[in-house]
Amino acid sequence: MNIEKRNIEIIDDTMAEVLRRKTPQQRLAIAFGIWSSARKQLTNYLRSQHPDWNEAMIQKEVARRLSHGIDKSRFSRFKRVTPVEETQANGASPEDVIIMKMKYYKEGESEKHLRDIVSMLKISGDEIDRSYIEFWSKKLELVDIRNAILQRLKNIG
């Protein structure tokens, strides 16, 4: 895969600092928004590519693509959070959100996914388990995308 060098909007240092100060609950809300957006994009993409499919077929394919062999690992890494008082929820780890966004980029090449990933890495810094991302990048054949993301992160210094 040849990734073109495009102008990607990267979160600025001031906003990165603001987001670093977010609570786990606030970060969960942001991550959920990113995941929801990616799921909607995939659903719409499948509808456009398969107009003959019914809704059940589309949702089954969305679920299959979202899992892609990584589910066992992702589910073991879920984080238990309390987004609202007296309510608990499982949330995907930032690493798994990054990996899924790399997959979505590979499928549709939406720059939004790369922008989101670079911003997440810029905000979270050492909190992100990069070896986990490297492992799954190799396994899911996303190494070119991962390398392009790391280069862009390095370029914004």
Which residues, at least 6 apart from 41, have a Cβ–Cβ distance to it below 8 Å?
A: 104, 108, 110
Position 7 in a domain:
no
Position 105 in a domain:
yes
Closest CA to 98 of 131, 75, 76, 120: 120
This prediction has a pTM of 0.52
How many domains are contained in the chain? 1
The amino acid at 125: G
| pLDDT at position 86 over 90 | no
Position 95 in a domain:
yes
Position 6 in a domain:
no
Position 70 in a domain:
yes
CA distances from 37 to 76, 95, 134, 144 (A): 23, 17, 24, 23
| pLDDT at position 31 over 60 | yes
The amino acid at 77: R
Position 55 in a domain:
yes
Position 147 in a domain:
yes
pLDDT of residue 1: 47
**What phi-psi label fits residue 80: left (phi over 0), alpha (psi between -120 and 50 degrees) or beta?**
beta
**37-47 mean pLDDT:** 90
Position 48 in a domain:
yes
75: containing domain: 13-156
